A and B are shown apart, each in its own frame.
Chain A
Amino acid sequence: MEHEGGDRLDTWMERFQIPMLAGEILLTNGAEIFRVEQTIERMAQALGAERSDVLVVLSGIQASFSVQQQVYTYIRRVRMRRTGLRLIAQVNQISREFCNHTMSNEEASQQLHALLTAPSHTAPLRKAIASSCGALAFSLLFQLRLPIPLFYATLNGFLASLIVDLLNRWKIPEYLATFLTGFILTYATLLYPQLDPTRLDRVLLAALFLLLPGVPLTTSIRELTNGDLISGTARMSEAMITLITIAAGVYTAFTLLPGRLL
């Protein structure tokens, strides 16, 4: 099945880059593995692939599409991963229109390239304010009702987001950044005046919640039960390493300040 119209994407080799690009954006922004595979397969089918085999693992995409007795194989390595759900929604929209043939190949390719280069990050200050509100709400949910600890929890949430952003900008390796964030936040919490040691844990947790891999842990179980064994295992190990790194940071801060709690 050939598409009519003045496509500049006139070889199959170039056309199949469109689903690969969509998959890459989805994987980078934290979509589930089965959703990435499904999107790539559907878009390839809309392009006219007779058979498509897609294997997505957490760190890359491998796909081969067969059409007219030819097999086209692609590998994309994905190194950076973050959570940017707006981009997932936009790719979803493009994919839907593309599969309904209401969007041309060129248009889809152009829009996907625009998404790839678009800055997904909102302003650091706004993110920090959202994080501090989140920390406040979470510490209220954890039954913390006194004004001073609540204030410290909010401050911690604010600091957590700012530190994560700053370390990201300095291109500090991911796990070192997590370690440092845990360390700095714990040290700051230990130095706050007039903080009751029994509430220290909850004040700290409100800030660390931003880093804790609760969602990846759940996603990994969902992927494992779904049959994506490699990605599920990989995601779980990643969550474990993140957890251990945070705990190491917190523990280091506690041991450097003796006579408090441990």
Chain B
Amino acid sequence: MHIDFLFAFIAVVCYAYLFDVPLKPTLIAGVAGSIGWMMAKHWISHAVFGTALAAFCIGMIAYLFAPRLHQPVTTMIIPGIIVLVPGTAAYTALRYALEGNIAMAGSGVITVFSSTLAIAGGLSVSELIMLRFNRAWRTYREKHRS
């Protein structure tokens, strides 16, 4: 189970390379993505809640490091959430629909929508928190420098 951490890290780093991300954000996104994977699949048993919390953590890490590395948040969030996004679930749902298995297709579509909503919600909450935190941190630093 713990080896999954490494696999998720490799997956994120490879996809970050495909998305042409610079090196430092790649490594941060790798760590964030593997924490997200462990949280969504192993640490929290409720699937949707786990996904939301994982996206929240990825967002927190990305927003924490973005101003410090002078990188846009996008370079860390997009590779980071690659392990969470329901691409395979969407594909499976569509496969069921094509086979005529409407019940399974419907449940698949619901899974896809709930997890996309969970990821979007988690990211927005982390953005809300971290934008304020970063601003407060900046004013604090400036006050203590002068």
Q: Which residues of A contact B (CB under 8 A)?
A: 30-32, 35, 83-89, 92-93, 96, 120, 122, 126-127, 130-131, 133-134, 136-138, 140-142, 161, 205, 208-210, 212-215, 217-218, 221-222, 225-226, 243-244, 246-247, 250-251, 262
Contacts and interface: CB of A to CB of B under 8 A. Distances in A.
A85 B95 contact: no
Chain A residues touching B, majority SS = helix
Which of the four size classes fits the interface of chain B? Answer: 35 or more
Given A35-B72, A221-B120, A247-B98, A141 B7 contact: yes
B98 A251 contact: yes
Contacts of B64: none
Contact of A212 (B81, B88, B98): B88
24 contacts: A83-B19, A85-B21, A85-B75, A88-B74, A88-B75, A89-B21, A89-B22, A89-B71, A89-B72, A89-B75, A122-B20, A131-B18, A137-B8, A141-B7, A161-B18, A205-B91, A209-B87, A215-B85, A217-B85, A217-B116, A222-B120, A243-B90, A247-B98, A251-B98
Chain B residues touching A, majority SS = helix
Contacts of A88: 72, 74-75
Among B11, B91, B95, B98, residue most surrounded by chain A Cβ atoms (within 10 Å): B91
B37 interface: yes
B17 A221 contact: no
Contacts, number: 135
B124 A225 contact: yes
Interface string B74-103: 110011011101111011001100110000
A228 B103 CA distance: 33
A126 B14 CA distance: 10
Contacts of B83: 141
Given A122-B20, A141-B37, A217-B112, A250 B95 contact: yes
A205 B88 contact: yes
Interface in B19-61: 19-22, 25, 37
Contacts of B19: 83-85
A209 B11 CA distance: 11
A53 B37 CA distance: 40
B5 to A, nearest CB: 10
Contacts of A85: 16, 19-22, 25, 74-75, 78-79
Contacts of B25: 85, 89
B95 A93 contact: no
Among A30, A86, A222, A251, residue most surrounded by chain B Cβ atoms (within 10 Å): A222
A83 B20 CA distance: 8
A214 B85 contact: yes
B11 A134 contact: yes
Contact of B81 (A92, A210, A215): A215
Contacts of B131: none
